[in-house]
Amino acid sequence: MGRKWSNENLAGALHYVTGNLVNRMRVFSDSACCEVFLKHLEDINRRWPAKLIAYVLMPDHFHLICNPRDGRIKEFIGELKGLSAKAIITANRFFKFPDHGVEGQQVWQQSFKATPLWSGWMIRQKINYIHANPVRAGLVESAKDYQWTSFRSFYLQKDGPLPIDRKWAWPEDAEKLSSAIREINERKGKLPDFLAALKRSGGRPPS
């Protein structure tokens, strides 16, 4: 499923996104760079609009789970990377980013991965993975001690660097997701059919 469904614009789906900094530079070890990235994420989230469920900034990459209302996850992340790149370059001029010709300095790897989350189990697994990432990397002993994550907002309902959404779905998500899956089935063929499960669950990701 990952090969066929990754980086598809699917309205109505939650997407698990990974973005890497160019050459795996440890840009998010700098607080100023974290702050400007999250500011642009918050601004785009509000303007798009999109729902933000969970996130973490690791030194050389980020993970997040979000649900853009129009489903255009590729454009959403593309705009986030483009705007945040300029802000990161300004925030810390000590980083030496590769020259990218007329486009200026390159901050991000060109590719990213966005995977739709179909079931409650998948959503919970990715949320737990995101929040446990700093502990697995040896950055902190407890997930609640890491600053650049949604852990405190998600589990402790305390203020974090960026607010998250408690309601993950838009009212029209079930209808939009059914339509999007049907369109991709027709375009690609031989993809799993989730429509019956969606109807049974009333539009919630099937468990």
Q: How many CB atoms lie within 10 A of CB 164?
A: 19
Residue 4: pLDDT over 60 = no
pLDDT tens-digit profile of 172-199?
888 888 877 777 676 655 444 444 554 5
Query: Which residue has tokens 């405190």?
Result: 152
Quick check: helix, strand or coil at residue 52? Answer: strand
CB 178 within 8 A of CB 195: yes
User: Out of 43-57, 142-156, 164-178, 182-196, which region has the weakest mean confidence (pLDDT)?
Assistant: 182-196
In order of their start, the domains of the chain are 2-168 (3.30.70.1290)
pLDDT tens-digit profile of 95-119?
999 887 656 789 999 888 999 987 8
Angle between helix 73-91 and helix 31-47 axes, rounded to 10 deg: 150
Per-position DSSP letters for 137-176, written without gaps between them:
TTS-SSGGG-SSBSHIIIII----SS---S----TTHHHH
d(CA 144, CA 126): 17
Residue 21: pLDDT over 90 = yes
pTM to 2 decimal places = 0.83
CB 69 within 8 A of CB 48: yes
- Continuous segment of H or E residues that includes residue 21: strand 14-21
CB 132 within 8 A of CB 110: no
Give the tokens for residue 53: 């469920």
d(CA 150, CA 106): 27
- Continuous segment of H or E residues that includes residue 190: none
d(CA 143, CA 150): 10
d(CA 74, CA 16): 12
Radius of gyration of the chain (CA): 17
